[in-house]
Amino acid sequence: MTASPSLPYQDIILNPEDRAADLVSRMTLEEKVSQTLHDAPAVERLGIPAYNWWNECLHGVGRAGIATVFPQAIGMAAMWNADLLAEIAAAISDEARAKHHDALRRGVHDIYYGLTFWTPNINIFRDPRWGRGQETYGEDPYLTARLGVTFVKGLQGDDPHYLKLVATPKHYAVHSGPEADRHRFNAVVNQRDLWDTYLPAFEACIREGQAASIMGAYNRTNGEPCCASPTLLQTILRERWGFDGFVVSDCGAIDDIYRDHKVVDTPEAAAALAVENGCELNCGCTYEALVEAVKQGLLDETVLDRAVIRLFTARFRLGMFDPPEQVAYAQLPISVNDCDAHRTLALRAARESIVLLKNADNTLPLPKTLKTIAVIGPNADDEKVLWGNYNGVPSFTVTPLAGIRAALGAPAEILYARGCSVLRSDTSGYAEALAAAARADVIVFVGGLSQAIEGEEGQEEGVTDGKSQGDRTDIALPAVQENLLKELYALGKPIVLVLVGGSAIAAPWADAHLPAIIETWYGGQAAGTALAEVLFGDYNPGGRLPVTFYKSVNDLPPFEDYTMAGRTYRYFQGEPLYPFGYGLSYTSFAYDSLRFEGESFTTSDTITLHAEVRNTGSRAGDEVVQLYISDLEASAPVPVHRLQGFRRLHLKPGETAAVRFTLTPEALSFVDEAGRRVLEPGIFRVTIGGGQPGARGSSGISRTVTVSGDRRFLD
């Protein structure tokens, strides 16, 4: 028996919150509890269909069959192109909506076909050993915030009445390894690092991006389980940031509260604690204990009602209970999935994500007249390695080997040998690789990492045999690959090293000895085509590093230490192998005419500045203009310098572009030891260029600006 169409919750004129409240008021305790689980059953008497809240679209719709697969998130960060990321997010959300409605027409309500997506991962990639850093936008709070907001908005759409999808920034908060201990780990962090590094991207995605959901982390932060933290979920998220959406636990995280964190003793107490503090949805089944928790008096039923109302508000905002003809997004046809336009977009993203790390003596681009090329390495002809994790399955994938073959055509001889695995010490393939290389004019070695080396704890996705090791204990290029490279180097042939992976790789020997090195990340379905275009000069690379490449694991503080001192480009005092923001081009750029609008500034002013960038080379290319701030007179510890603006430009040879940035008072502020954002009068150095001030390979121009006035708290 279905409900009468005259009931308030069925009235599409009412706002989603009122409809949700009316619906929940008609539910029994058991029915309400059933809706707090990610695999929520139908409540037929009220016309509520079954719904599985769990879905993924980290870099394309994941785990739901054929979909366009874009570069892994860290690769999309390397594009340094928010406009392109917005196009990608719109394409992903088109495919997600189309898949959802196609599934409904077929009566499918399974996992990975809903409209609530647990992405983006905006944790700060503070340490390259973390296996899930590949899922993030890198190590910088500003870059992560800008890209996170862009992705959230692109997923959720701009319809005035309906959400396109629900975006879920994760994992809130202070979460980035170690993977093996994440279910029991307590991340201890001081207030300065909390507010200056770990929270800014979340705040931006909630306040500016208006994310409708957020996912709590497995770990504790300063003693409180993140999925039941009054500090994170109440004081900061809802009271300070004004969040009015719903919170979902990471999968199994409510179990952790009593089993591993041992904050309480029973499932009932854990479930009650989480709901009381504002975690509405359980990925898992611990919330089944909420029925008994209410009966035992551990949780007031009105608090449970609040949680369920928030969940149904999201479903009403998605249009799930309205006629499809009322929801524009419901009209997207399944033909949009894996369409030609999205394939083209995936290729463009793969191109823009590639970072040229070294190009001695203009080794690249290679001439297409080469007669023989040896393509060697464990990642040269592996489709799956290009997909990263949390991925969909593309209808086709171009590997590096296939891309090189297509680019050169029949006249060239392409010799292929795998040579070795990514990690295992078996050298039985060396002889074949050396024989092929001996016959070649140039060697292209495609190695690096894979999901077997870096990934989520227990991850099987992308791993051919067994499970991912999760975190890395060393950040060096695996020895089996470097040893093969050394034997190839002894042949005296030019070698181009192509790195595949999701995090920084320490390869100082390669940097010292090999003429050309390229980073391609996990480049998605079009990775091989994009690589070949870069190798042979059909595309001029313009990607930039979203993480620091260190020389050795010895450069890093202990992995378990969440203090930012000594970490990332903002606090690292040593010399990196390749700095954050770094990337070379086949052309060159010069900067000039840095000026400020106005002669004097106070701590209440927004500062506007201008500069010019010119392509001084002979090829068209992309430059990523980067703006860094250094506070030269701060009364507290501050970053050496920090990113506060960026823009990717395409310039023809000899072309000049004017760039304009604005610096708000917040951009010049710092966070004190109490976690308060402070702006002091003083002298600031502003640098605009193609990289960090004074860093390897960067060009730019700097000026100081004096800010007068009163010391201000900005929060």
Q: What is the pLDDT of residues 629-659, one digit of tens each?
A: 999 999 999 999 999 999 999 999 999 999 9
Q: 435 lies in a domain? A: yes
Residues 155 and 203 grouped into a single domain: yes
Residues 529 and 675 grouped into a single domain: no
CA atoms of 53 and 159, how far apart (whole Å): 21
Omega before residue 120 within 30° of 0, cis: yes
Structural domains of the chain, count? 3
Q: What is the per-residue pLDDT for 410? A: 86
Given a contact cutoff of 8 angstroms between Cβ atoms, the answer to whether 179 and 457 are in contact is yes
Beta-strand pair 116-117/166-167: parallel
Q: What is the per-residue pLDDT for 146? A: 98
Q: 213 lies in a domain? A: yes
CA angle 8/10/15 to nearest 5° reads 70
Which residue has 């928010």 as its token pair? 82
Q: Alpha carbon 476 to chain centroid distance?
A: 22
Given a contact cutoff of 8 angstroms between Cβ atoms, the answer to whether 416 and 403 are in contact is no
Q: Which of 312, 336, 360 is the last residue of a domain?
A: 336
Q: 602 lies in a domain? A: yes
Choose among 184, 269, 334, 249: nearest CA to 53. 249
Catalytic residue from among 454, 456, 457, 471: 454
Three-state DSSP state, 374: strand
Residues 305 and 394 grouped into a single domain: no
Choose among 530, 247, 519, 578: nearest CA to 399. 530
Residues 613 and 652 grouped into a single domain: yes
Q: What CATH number is attached to the domain comprising 282?
A: 3.20.20.300
Q: What CATH number is attached to the domain comprising 657?
A: 2.60.40.10
Q: What is the per-residue pLDDT for 465? A: 87
Bridge partners of 628? 643, 687
Residues 360 and 292 grouped into a single domain: no
Q: What is the per-residue pLDDT for 5? A: 63
Q: 89 lies in a domain? A: no
Q: At residue 650, what is the residue type?
A: H
Catalytic residue from among 135, 193, 224, 250: 250
Given a contact cutoff of 8 angstroms between Cβ atoms, the answer to whether 532 and 380 are in contact is no
Q: 88 lies in a domain? A: no
CA atoms of 414 and 441, how far apart (whole Å): 10
Q: At residue 96, what is the residue type?
A: A
The CB-side HSE value for 244 (13 A sphere, CA atoms) comes to 6
Q: What is the per-residue pLDDT for 164? A: 99
Residues 130 and 221 grouped into a single domain: yes
Given a contact cutoff of 8 angstroms between Cβ atoms, the answer to whether 200 and 206 are in contact is no
Given a contact cutoff of 8 angstroms between Cβ atoms, the answer to whether 308 and 32 are in contact is yes
Three-state DSSP state, 275: helix
Query: Is the dihedral angle over the CA atoms 199, 202, 204, 207 positive or is it negative?
Result: negative
Catalytic residue list contains 250: yes
Query: 411: domain range?
Result: 343-571
Q: 86 lies in a domain? A: no
Q: Alpha carbon 528 to chain centroid distance?
A: 22
Q: What CATH number is attached to the domain comprising 410?
A: 3.40.50.1700
Q: What is the pLDDT of residues 44-63, one digit of tens each?
A: 999 999 999 999 999 999 99
Residues 501 and 620 grouped into a single domain: no
Q: 75 lies in a domain? A: no
> Per-10-residue mean pLDDT for the chain, 715 residues long?
71 97 98 98 98 98 98 99 98 98 97 98 98 98 99 98 98 97 98 98 98 98 98 98 98 98 98 99 98 98 98 98 97 98 98 98 97 98 98 98 95 96 97 98 98 97 94 98 98 98 98 98 99 98 98 98 98 97 98 96 97 98 98 97 98 98 98 97 98 87 97 92
Residues 560 and 663 grouped into a single domain: no
